Structure 1
Amino acid sequence: MLLYYDLHIHSALSPCADDDMTPNNIVNMAKLKGLDLITVSDHNCARNVEAAARVAADAGLLFLPGLEMTTSEEVHVLVFFEEARAAREFGDKLYAELPDIRNQPDFFGNQFILNEKDEVVGTLDKLLISALPYDIDESCALVREYGGYAVPAHINKGANSVLANLGFFPPQLFFKTVETVPGLAIESDISRFEQIHSSDAHNLWQIAERERALEVEIANVRTILQKLCD
């Protein structure tokens, strides 16, 4: 069974994303584009994941809960969970540990918490794109502690990636899968990894087309996590 996917989509909670990146808009655009599976992966928080999961379920779209955390080295790591509540609890832990740098909406953008009707039910004050006080080893250990699964994000981008910021994959860390950006050079041997290619969408039009698929035996979150991370 092939599941066409986009596992890296930012909602209006991320200050760098458009305000119209609401649960319903994201899910409806994914459906229009013929996707079967999506993740809402906001920076260092997952307060919109539960609403997005409910909207996706109502639309018959598979939803993999997650977020994108920023290590102290400013490396971005995608983190996936089996349940939306677990993602939200992990995101709340990360938010509490962010430095007390206040968001400036006029400069960075809004950080909207939305419900399943796309209504703004709150905002977050701390700037979500700040780095956490955990290095990559500590970050991956924390992910495991909370039952999550880590996938290094956009490893061949020139910033905020393992290869750009560290220059290598720490040998003590195990990753089964990495996210790569098609068309960008990869200055490292990554033949030992599986690869996913997602959009890192910050607006609706950037959400992936029906181009890339995961092959699984059963279409459920557990099987998807096994495919990516176990």
Structure 2
Amino acid sequence: MTFYRADLHIHTALSPCAGEEMTPPRIVAAAIMAGLQLIAVTDHNSAGNIAAVQEAARGTGLIVLAGLEVQTREDVHLVCLFNSAAEALEWQSIVYQRLPAEENREEYFGCQLLLDAAGREIGREKRLLLTSVDMGLEEVVREVSGRGGVCIPAHVDRPSYGLLGHLGLIPEGLPFAAMELGLLYPDEALKQFPTLAGWPLTVASDAHYLKDIGRRVTIFDFVEEINLKSLHQSLRRQQFKVVVGQRDNFR
């Protein structure tokens, strides 16, 4: 068995609400400094910087999973993880088709920087990413699952963009891999939201700035090679624990 300290919700400078410091080499360095072995790049509605972060991490031992944080029609954020950057980009093409035809206003929302592995700007995403796609929660989950990906509702306990904080319920029958907590400890979340009982409860930093990377960590216990399938199995088998600050909660 091998333990991996993971932060599966990290933004790059492609997300307009993230700092321009969130470049591939700086993210990799910050993750290693935080003692992480596994991260996921999850920009808002886009996969444009995943390959650059993976290239920046090559040879360091840090594993970088491919993901997007999709904002559904209901204004719920979903972390969507895929087996490769190519698969994430395929999903991005669908997401882009369902985004409103609006351009980003940099003076209001911030820049959406496309970067190479060295952190150099190679372009700017012009379409507005910080908005909802024209897809409901169920459609997003079904589409991602059908493409071999997994969905984890992000920061479900937050009042804004969280599944429970925003909708107040967990829709039945949807194959979520886990529920990500953004504010509470797992025991506190179960008291406040009893419907979380029975779900794997993970944490992640939702880092928009370097200082936040690794602030909330899920430690996975893998018995196989690390990939999306083994991650999903670890969640189903409750082979993980979460760490928030100095306090541990064992699952």
Could you say which residue in structure 2 is the equivalent of 1:160?
A: 161
Q: Which whole-Å deviations, capped at 9, do the CAs of 1:40-69 have from their partners, x for residues lacking one?
A: 100001010111112223321011111100
**Higher mean displacement: 48-57 or 150-159:** 48-57
Q: Which whole-Å deviations, capped at 9, do the CAs of 1:116-174 have from their partners, x for residues lacking one?
A: 12111111111101101111111111112322111111000011011122210011213
Matched, 1:36 2:41: no
Q: Which whole-Å deviations, capped at 9, do the CAs of 1:173-224 have from their partners, x for residues lacking one?
A: 1323110124365332212111111000000001114854111113411422
Matched, 1:101 2:107: no
Give the 5 Å matches for 1:163-178: 163-178=164-179
Could you say which residue in structure 1 is the equivalent of 2:246?
A: none
| SS in structure 2 at match of 1:65 | strand
Segments ≥4 residues shifted beyond 6 Å: none
Change (3 A) 1:128 1:229: farther
**Higher mean displacement: 66-75 or 178-187:** 178-187
Unaligned runs of 5+ in 1: none
| SS in structure 1 at match of 2:234 | helix
Could you say which residue in structure 1 is the equivalent of 2:232?
A: 225
**Higher mean displacement: 180-189 or 100-109:** 180-189
CA distance in 1, matches of 2:232, 2:34: 23
Match of 2:220 among 214, 217, 227: 214
Change (3 A) 1:44 1:229: farther
CA distance in 1, matches of 2:18, 2:62: 22
Unaligned runs of 5+ in 2: 238-251
CA distance in 1, matches of 2:208, 2:216: 18
| SS in structure 1 at match of 2:4 | strand
| SS in structure 1 at match of 2:101 | coil
Q: Write the letter of the residue equivalent to 1:188.
A: F
Q: Write the letter of the residue equivalent to 1:19.
A: E
Change (3 A) 1:210 1:14: closer
Could you say which residue in structure 2 is the equivalent of 1:188?
A: 193
Equivalent pair of 2:48/2:114 in contact (CA under 8 Å): yes
Equivalent pair of 2:155/2:183 in contact (CA under 8 Å): no
CA distance in 2, matches of 1:71, 1:194: 22
The Cα of 1:74 is off from its aligned counterpart by 0.4
Larger proportion of strand: 2
Q: Which whole-Å deviations, capped at 9, do the CAs of 1:70-98 have from their partners, x for residues lacking one?
A: 00000000001111111122123212320
Q: Write the letter of the residue equivalent to 1:90.
A: W
Equivalent pair of 2:9/2:41 in contact (CA under 8 Å): yes
* Count of equivalent residues: 230
Change (3 A) 1:211 1:167: closer
CA distance in 1, matches of 2:220, 2:183: 16
CA distance in 2, matches of 1:139, 1:86: 15
